[in-house]
């Protein structure tokens, strides 16, 4: 039965460190579908038929890709398992164009979040949160997960992040001062919770809380954040902006670029350095500098 083969496949990959939560659900559902049709081996026709049942057209290449990877695993031991062709196209979608804040807009956003629209700690919470995201490049999930114990003399300790890696984020003196100022007020609220950022009800912030507050502040200063706009500003755009500004300050010679890219990738907590290279395409200024260096190289100069 394919179900047994799926369970073996998932066990092996999870032993290598992969979680495969959604992948596991998808493959087990496919296995049940195949078993119900008396297909004891991976069948290309059955796989394509099952994937086509997905209502999301965008999900179909990904689902079939998961089956193909599983099929390669079982085919190595038993050639009766077929390798389905990628008939729904590539599962690797191009990343959306990131929204990068213009110079001065981050300050305006922080000021808009601090305007006295809400009572209590809320305006201090979101103005501090947005400022912290902008000056550190943290993911929103990392920032709202911070606790008192994560503040050290060396910076912020970000624990068990997206790729299960903890890292240290150094803070500029101005950021430390702003954070300490916020914490003086924060400690009066929600005394039984040690999260840095809490809601008006004294509970840890959730992603939808941050997105709502961001939209409110962005709309005040005319920053596009509607679903129909591309690119559109989101809280994650503060991380994009941080990465782009760091790259813009990097010298153009090869050694500096290599060292800076590796350092930035580590600092941002990227799983692959290629995720960091993506930011080189983010602004016309960076693309212009890349084009200039390419012309110099083609002309016989040093890269």
Name the residue ranges covered by the structural domains of the chain: 2-75, 106-230, 238-298
Cβ-defined contacts of 124-128 (< 8 Å, 24+): 124/182, 124/185, 124/186, 125/182, 125/186, 125/197, 125/198, 125/199, 125/205, 126/210, 126/213, 126/214, 126/217, 128/178, 128/179, 128/182, 128/197
- Whether residue 207 is predicted with pLDDT greater than 80 in this model: the reply is yes
- Whether residue 224 is predicted with pLDDT greater than 70 in this model: the reply is yes
Active site residue 236: yes
Q: What per-residue confidence (pLDDT) applies to 12?
A: 93
Active site residue 114: no
- Whether residue 95 is predicted with pLDDT greater than 80 in this model: the reply is no
Q: What per-residue confidence (pLDDT) applies to 138?
A: 93
Q: What per-residue confidence (pLDDT) applies to 171?
A: 92
When comparing pLDDT for 300 and 27, which is higher?
Answer: 27
Residue 27 pLDDT grade (very low, low, confident, very high; cuts 50, 70, 90) = very high
Which of 139-143, 213-217, 259-263, 289-293 shows the lowest per-residue confidence on average (mean pLDDT)?
Answer: 289-293
Residue 73 pLDDT grade (very low, low, confident, very high; cuts 50, 70, 90) = very high
Active site residue 270: yes
106-230 under CATH 1.10.443.10, yes or no: yes
Residue 52, SS3 per DSSP:
coil
Instruction: Name beta bridge partners: 156.
Output: 151, 169
What percentage of the chain exceeds 70 in pLDDT?
Answer: 87
- Whether residue 186 is predicted with pLDDT greater than 80 in this model: the reply is yes
Q: What per-residue confidence (pLDDT) applies to 162?
A: 65
Q: Tokens representing 83?
A: 């390798």
> What H or E segment, with its residue span, contains residue 155?
strand 155-158
What percentage of the chain exceeds 90 in pLDDT?
Answer: 55
- Whether residue 72 is predicted with pLDDT greater than 80 in this model: the reply is yes
Active site residue 182: no
- Whether residue 132 is predicted with pLDDT greater than 70 in this model: the reply is yes
Average pLDDT, whole number, for the chain?
87
Spatial CA neighbour of 139 closest among 33, 51, 38, 237: 237
How far is it, in rounded angstroms, from Cα 167 to Cα 140? Answer: 15
DSSP per residue, 160-196: S-TTS--EEE---HHHHHHHHHHHHHHTTS-TT--BS
Active site residue 293: no
Catalytic residue among 236, 245, 289, 293: 236
**pTM score:** 0.72
Q: Tell me: the pLDDT tens digits for 39-62?
A: 999 999 999 999 999 998 989 999
Catalytic residue among 139, 178, 195, 240: 139
- Whether residue 253 is predicted with pLDDT greater than 80 in this model: the reply is no
> What H or E segment, with its residue span, contains residue 88?
none
Catalytic residue among 72, 162, 203, 254: 162
How far is it, in rounded angstroms, from Cα 62 to Cα 23? Answer: 10
- Whether residue 303 is predicted with pLDDT greater than 60 in this model: the reply is no
Catalytic residue among 26, 60, 114, 270: 270
DSSP per residue, 245-289: HHHHTS-SSHHHHHHHHHHHHHHHT-SSHHHHHGGGGS-HHHHHH
- Whether residue 17 is predicted with pLDDT greater than 90 in this model: the reply is no
Catalytic residue among 62, 239, 240, 267: 239
Q: What per-residue confidence (pLDDT) applies to 22?
A: 92
When comparing pLDDT for 272 and 35, which is higher?
Answer: 35
Spatial CA neighbour of 133 closest among 213, 74, 194: 213
Average pLDDT over residues 155-159: 91
| Alpha helices, H only, 52-104 | 60-75
Q: Tokens representing 206?
A: 């959730």
Average pLDDT over residues 107-135: 88
Q: Tokens representing 258?
A: 């290599």
How far is it, in rounded angstroms, from Cα 168 to Cα 170? Answer: 6
Q: What per-residue confidence (pLDDT) applies to 301?
A: 65
Active site residue 267: no
Average pLDDT over residues 223-247: 85
- Whether residue 80 is predicted with pLDDT greater than 90 in this model: the reply is yes
């Amino acid at each position: 039965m394919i179900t047994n083969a799926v369970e073996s496949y998932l066990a092996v990959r999870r032993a290598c460190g992969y979680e495969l939560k959604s992948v596991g659900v998808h493959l087990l559902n496919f296995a049940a579908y195949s078993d119900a049709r008396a297909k004891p081996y991976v069948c290309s026709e059955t796989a394509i038929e099952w994937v086509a049942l997905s209502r999301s057209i965008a999900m179909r290449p990904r689902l079939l890709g998961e089956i193909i990877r599983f099929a390669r695993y079982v085919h190595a031991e038993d050639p009766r398992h077929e390798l389905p062709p990628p008939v729904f196209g590539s599962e690797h979608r191009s990343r959306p164009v990131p929204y990068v804040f213009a110079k001065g807009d981050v300050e305006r956003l922080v000021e808009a979040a601090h305007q006295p629209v809400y009572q209590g700690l809320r305006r201090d919470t979101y103005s501090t949160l947005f400022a912290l995201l902008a000056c550190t490049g943290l993911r929103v999930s990392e920032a709202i997960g911070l606790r008192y114990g994560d503040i050290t003399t060396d910076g912020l300790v970000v624990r068990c992040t997206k790729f299960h890696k903890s890292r240290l984020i150094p803070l500029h003196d101005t950021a430390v001062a702003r954070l300490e100022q916020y914490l003086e007020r924060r400690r009066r609220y929600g005394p039984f919770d040690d999260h840095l950022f809490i809601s008006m009800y004294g509970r840890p912030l959730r992603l939808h809380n941050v997105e709502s507050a961001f939209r409110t502040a962005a709309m005040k200063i005319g920053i596009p954040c509607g679903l129909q706009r591309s690119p559109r500003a989101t809280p994650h755009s503060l991380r994009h902006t941080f990465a782009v500004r760091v790259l813009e300050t990097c010298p153009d010679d090869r050694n500096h670029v290599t060292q800076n890219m590796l350092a930035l990738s580590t600092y941002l907590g990227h799983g692959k350095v290629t995720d960091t290279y993506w930011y080189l395409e983010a602004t016309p200024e960076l693309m212009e500098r890349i084009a200039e260096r390419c012309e110099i190289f083609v002309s016989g100069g040093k890269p």
